[in-house]
A and B are shown apart, each in its own frame.
Chain A
Amino acid sequence: MNKSNLAKKAPFSFAAAVGAGMTAIAAEKGGAEFLLLLNAGRLRMRGAASLGCYLPVEDANSWIARIGKTEVLNKCKIPVLMGCSVANPNMSVEGIVETARMSGFSGVTNFPTAVLIDGKVREILELQNIGFGKECEMIKVASQQGLQTLAYVSNNAEASMMVTAGADMLCINIGFTHNSSIEASDLTLDNTAKIIDRALKNIPLEIPTYVEGGPITTPEFALSIYNKSRVQGYIAGSTIDRFPLEETIVDVAKSYRIISQIKTDNNSDRNSNFIYGSSKKMQEIQKLVKYFGEKDDPILIVGPSGSGKSLLAEEINRHAENNYPKLIHIDCLGLSPNNSVEELFGTALGHYGTGTPSQAGILEDADQATVIFDEISTLNLETQAKIVNFVDTGIVRRMGGDRQLKVRCRIIATTNAPIDSLLEKKLLREDLYYRLNTVQMYIPALKERVEDIPHLAKEILNETTKSNKKSISNSGFGALLDYDWTGNVRELKNAIKRANLLSSSNTLKSSDFNFLTEFIKPNRLKEIPQISLSEQQRTVASKPTMTEREWIADALQRNRFKRGPTADELGITTRTLYSKIKKYALYSP
């Protein structure tokens, strides 16, 4: 579209294609400029797909006339156009227009329309004069009778025919929006804009033009098409009734299902932090921590990755702070595989060759400390043997040295693999296992203790939004409960952080957690509308959706473009982060 056209363009407008009184009234209240009453809308209200409008499941015209008279026309003040089918050869266009006029409609539109039908069937429809040609006749007759007319078209030839027939408004139908979910069609927004402009070539500018269907599923997409093409408005169908209605019903239904679990959570121990929850298993662990926390016994914590083993170890340490005020956290995976003994116990002067300096080991500083060995089974067996001796004696002797240092410490070890398997595969020395296993605490996977999720989610959110408290709606809890959480508490934590970043609302709803189950199509992400600053400000204020690009860019900025901390915050690997940075060209300024 050229700039001179853009300058003359009318403000963005929208109309709604509905099928029931309730949605008609709501759309009017929401600011729709006019309504189309269509059998497709009625089918949606009955739980079927819009496309069913073509099927012989009702007499489209008498059905819509009846709904108009009984539900819509006496309640809405804005113009209501009747969707008229011309496919029935037994009905003349004069008869159809008369039905619309007598029922009290302001005008007519050709719906269901033949413009979406292709192949030989379309040929037969036209040959039999029950296709687009008859739709043009109907628009002509209605126009002559002073009724408002909006014509659905899909290409330039059809648009020209309808203009000749006297159509007041045109609507380019890009195809039906996907019937069951907000899933874009294969068309991109740019391609859609091109199709629209081709269809409207040489169509007089004074004729208002609209678009419907295809990949347009949100107000942002509609605005983008408005900016990219010559259409001045959007006709919302399933995107204004079915999708939001379904989402709301799902949310409310989930609320009823979840409410009892949330109540249970309200009664749970408010002093516990986000390690625990209301599940029996976690309550047992809490008792063990209280009992053994202050004692000296070694503790072995077993649980799947992300289940919170390290946090539990630190929690145990908090109970023993009087005896062991220091905390040494050793990430065994982070130790050098060939020099882990040296890193733990230190090296004497000349150990690596004549003149090499001595080096202190981590454990030399372990006096009066709780020493946490994270993922202890990843240490090699030689190192494990040294640790057996250390557990027994508390003695640290540098490699290559004679001097012995005795420390008094408490050992906590964690592992994510099942103990049986570690012993069988000889990844964990039996003697070390028996020494560490004085007390064993097993943290189940999150999916085995879903009743903890509401409590954990609240605690995590509270911690995440310290200054600006937020809450999670019942439906939001429902979404969290429905998810599998293979990454356990760590994944939950990341999800809540992400939802918090994506939503500017004070309450996180089910839809704020859609990213858990939705696959975001890259081509859609590329085409997020490029709108002006003032529009952006308005959009941010009204609909705070965030793209993946924005989400990642935000995190990068917060972490000063350091990839490690950014990946950690986002809950993705650095490799994935790198590929996203490359994909969205998010480089440090």
Chain B
Amino acid sequence: MKILTLTSNCEKARSDQILCPILDGLNAAQADCAAIIPSGNANNLLVSKLPKHTGLLDYQAAILCSDPFMNRETFFTELYSRGIRSVSNWPTTIFLEHNFKKAMNNINANPATEFECLADAMKIGMKTKAFILSLEQGKQAISQGIRDLIVHPGLQIALSEGVQNTLYESLHFMIETLLKIEPALNVYIYQHTKHDMETHHKRYTKNPPPISGYVIYQESE
């Protein structure tokens, strides 16, 4: 069971971390909304914060795939040269709903574009892990050739235990469905905290979902 962390701290980067420096100062709930917090240039910040040393070249990074100014080929080549071997779509538009989702869709700020962007990263030899929220998004990612999915349980709104259980049941069902579509998938569940991960793990010890691991959010200290 792998455990990865989504972190803004790039100073002591490890291969089990997904680096995303634009999240600096954001708690887990705020990090979910990072795609609509114009606090800096997410992708430039990533490049500037990547470790300079040339030891281990196996970092993972999260990128703003809907950046309208991104030249994918140049950007991925630069990331690769700086030791990034895997990219994910974060800050992400997977949570957008209703009218705002429609409006953002007009400028291609949507999950489909994010998965297409990750697919382009694969063309230059990178691995990809796609954050998804729904079955539809999972199917879109699979259709782009992405085989590592990070399933997000949804925005952090206080839920009763009963509702939480129902949510996890549907999440597991979704994972099983995705695995039926593509058995070669590696599926991770995203958790806002380490505590959430442990609670989920304990709750389903006897009947664990078919996942490869967890991705947890690590707030900056």
Contact = CB atoms under 8 A, between A and B. Distances in A.
B155 interface: yes
A325 to B, nearest CB: 65
Contact of B104 (A51, A85, A90): A51
Interface stretch (B23-31, B52-60, B181-189): B23-31
Given A121-B96, A176-B103, 15 more contacts: A43-B68, A51-B104, A54-B36, A55-B36, A56-B40, A56-B91, A58-B41, A59-B38, A90-B25, A117-B36, A120-B155, A121-B32, A121-B36, A121-B95, A124-B155
Interface string B1-39: 000000000000000000000101111011011111111
A54 B97 contact: no
Contacts of A118: 97-100
B120 interface: no
11 contacts: A55-B64, A55-B66, A57-B69, A89-B27, A90-B26, A112-B36, A118-B97, A120-B155, A175-B103, A178-B106, A179-B107
Contacts of B202: none
Nearest to B67: A57
Contact of A56 (B34, B99, B104, B107): B34
- Number of chain A interface residues as a range: 35 or more
A49 B107 contact: yes
Nearest to A112: B38
A90 B68 CA distance: 25
Nearest to B91: A56
A541 interface: no
Interface of A: 39, 43, 46, 48-49, 51-60, 85, 87-91, 112, 116-125, 127-128, 130, 175-176, 178-180
Interface string B135-159: 0000000000000000000111100
B100 A121 contact: yes
Contact of A57 (B41, B100, B154, B157): B41
B132 interface: no
Interface residues of B, number: 40
Contacts of A176: 103
Contacts of A128: 27, 29-30, 33
B203 interface: no
Given A52-B107, A56-B41, A57-B64, A116 B100 contact: yes
B68 A48 contact: yes
A123 B157 contact: yes
A487 B150 CA distance: 56
Nearest to B154: A120
Contacts of B68: 43, 48-49, 52, 55, 57
Contacts of A55: 35-36, 38, 64, 66-68, 91, 109
A229 to B, nearest CB: 21
A53 B38 contact: yes
A88 B37 contact: yes
Contact of B40 (A58, A123, A175, A179): A58
Contacts of A43: 68
A528 B195 CA distance: 60
B79 interface: no
Nearest to B35: A55
A119 B98 contact: yes
A85 B30 contact: no
A124 B32 contact: yes
B97 A56 contact: no
Contact of A121 (B27, B39, B97): B97
Nearest to A180: B106
B50 interface: no
B178 interface: no
Contacts of A53: 38
B157 A120 contact: yes
A125 B33 contact: yes
Output the residue of A49, A87, A121 with the most chain B CB within 10 A: A121
A43 B107 CA distance: 12
Contacts of B39: 56, 59-60, 85, 87-88, 90-91
Contacts of B42: 56-57
A91 B30 CA distance: 13
A457 to B, nearest CB: 36
A180 B106 CA distance: 9
B113 to A, nearest CB: 12
B77 to A, nearest CB: 20
A83 to B, nearest CB: 10
Given A57-B41, A57-B67, A118-B97, A87 B36 contact: yes
B72 interface: no
Contacts of B24: 90
B155 A121 contact: yes
B96 A119 contact: yes
